[in-house]
Amino acid sequence: MVTVGVEEEYLLLDAATGVPVARAEQVRQAAEQQPGIDRGEVQRELLQAQLEVATPVCETLDEVGAHLTRLRGALAEAAASHGCRLAAVGAAPFTDRLSVPVSDTPRYRTIHGDAPQLTDEQLITGMHVHVGVPDRGAGVALLNGLRPWLPLLVALSANSPLWNGTDTGFADWRTVVFSRWPVSGVPPHFDGAADYDARIRALVDTGLIGDVGRLYWQARLSERYPTVEIRAMDVQLRVDEAVMLTGLVRAVAATLLADPDPAHAAAFHPEALAAAVWYAARHGCTERLHDPRTGTLDSPPAVVDRVLDTLGPALRRHGDAPLVEPLLKRLLTEGNGAVRQLRELRRGGRAGLVDLISSVTDGTDGTDGTDDATGSTGSIDGTEGAEGADHPGRAAGPAR
């Protein structure tokens, strides 16, 4: 059994205007007063309009769904008590001319001092999935194998089409914003754990980055727990889609851990993968998808069918197939978060979009995170990202 843990980052939006508001500390403290929230489950993020939650180690997708539903509900209630709304979108759709202050910690102040404009524009939020690995060597092998899968994850999870009130023309603007940091995007190929450790140590020792927390690759090893963290995805509007992506990531990891296939992993050149990620961020699921087995572009249904064939044994072994397969196909039919955001903006304008985001985020739109295809409830840095510190609730285990 490959264990998983999920982190979600959220924005806090003004209830009337939809612009980010600096009320994270008030909302965090209010959430921690609720009986269903443990101390430390809600964490600060880089900017004072952001918060992050982390699930415990989970063995089933039902567990993941229950924790995310609980945490979103508590934060949404706390946000409402302070005149704002919780938003699970990959980028702030609207902003005003005032920058959001950085969270008041030494680490975040240092990051802002190093890159003030980049920090001020970091109004983006992601979803991170940790998968458990038996040891660091297996983690690096998994990291290598994940590289060709990252463009597909970017495309499927795209949920950030808007920026400063403008349609960017990209499905995933968050990926574009994050790519401006020095160590970001698809990680390079490594020749084992010693090579990985030597190369990241060299980045820190030479002063090129402040510490290993500033490795902003779309997948990386945890420095505290025996896990690989997959960071390529936007936070999801719906809990059930976050659950589906978690199951998909777990199936990829389980397949690669069982059969690392190092020759296949090494065959993908960095420039091709960088271009594939850019293409995925630009188009999401509305054009062709990058096939992680062949490196070619093909229609979304064709790629998804081949992906499900490849991952089928792992999905069935973990009991995840009944949830992942229909939800993945529903996403191709109804569109991902980026498609639905733009559709609502055209239909309901700014107020309609803000209402959609907040009601879907906390389940008050009537879906309540339910997978309509199966009747299940998901049965679904930033601190590890921008700040770089592992939370104690993050998944760990023998085989995150």
pLDDT(329) > 80 = yes
pLDDT(194) > 60 = yes
Region 225-229: mean pLDDT is 95
In a domain, 105, yes or no: yes
In a domain, 399, yes or no: no
Q: What is the pLDDT of residues 230-255, one digit of tens each?
A: 999 999 999 999 999 999 999 999 99
The region of weakest confidence among 7-11, 39-43, 387-391 is 387-391
CATH of the domain at 10: 3.30.590.20
pLDDT(49) > 90 = yes
At residue 261, the pLDDT reads 87
pLDDT(265) > 90 = no
Domain of 28 in residue numbering reads as 4-383
Our count of domains for the chain comes to 1
In a domain, 323, yes or no: yes
**Beta partners for residue 12, in sequence order:** 86
Say how many CA atoms lie within 13 Å of 8 toward its Cβ. Answer: 31
pLDDT(337) > 60 = yes
What integer best gives the mean pLDDT of the chain?
90
Handedness of CA 270, 276, 282, 284 (dihedral sign): negative
Region 194-211: mean pLDDT is 96
Q: pLDDT class for 369, splitting at 50, 70, 90?
A: very low
Q: pLDDT class for 295, splitting at 50, 70, 90?
A: very high
At residue 149, the pLDDT reads 98
In a domain, 388, yes or no: no
pLDDT(357) > 80 = yes
In a domain, 271, yes or no: yes
The region of weakest confidence among 19-28, 320-329, 363-372 is 363-372
At residue 262, the pLDDT reads 85
Of the chain, the percentage scoring pLDDT greater than 90 comes to 85
In a domain, 83, yes or no: yes
Region 154-181: mean pLDDT is 97
pLDDT(383) > 60 = no
Region 314-320: mean pLDDT is 97
pLDDT(103) > 80 = yes
pLDDT(391) > 50 = no
Region 38-58: mean pLDDT is 94
Which two three-digit tokens encode residue 7? 């982190």
Q: pLDDT class for 373, splitting at 50, 70, 90?
A: very low
| Strand ranges for the chain from DSSP E | 4-14, 42-44, 50-54, 84-87, 126-132, 162-163, 166-167, 184-185, 216-217, 219-221, 227-234, 289-290, 297-298
pLDDT(375) > 80 = no
Q: pLDDT class for 379, splitting at 50, 70, 90?
A: very low
pLDDT(48) > 70 = yes
For 162, phi then psi, to 5°, come to -115, 150
pLDDT(382) > 60 = no
Region 26-53: mean pLDDT is 93
Decide: residue 115, CB within 10 A, 0-12 exposed, 13-18 middle, 19+ buried: middle
pLDDT(205) > 60 = yes
**Beta partners for residue 84, in sequence order:** 14
Of the chain, the percentage scoring pLDDT greater than 70 comes to 91
Q: pLDDT class for 279, splitting at 50, 70, 90?
A: very high
At residue 35, the pLDDT reads 87
pLDDT(385) > 50 = no
Between CA 324 and CA 255 the distance in angstroms is 15
In a domain, 398, yes or no: no
Which of 7, 92, 80 has its CA nearest to residue 48? 92
Region 183-210: mean pLDDT is 96
In a domain, 129, yes or no: yes
128-to-55, 105, 153, 246 alpha-carbon distances in Å: 11, 22, 11, 9
At residue 367, the pLDDT reads 54
At residue 389, the pLDDT reads 37
357-to-180, 203, 334 alpha-carbon distances in Å: 27, 39, 16
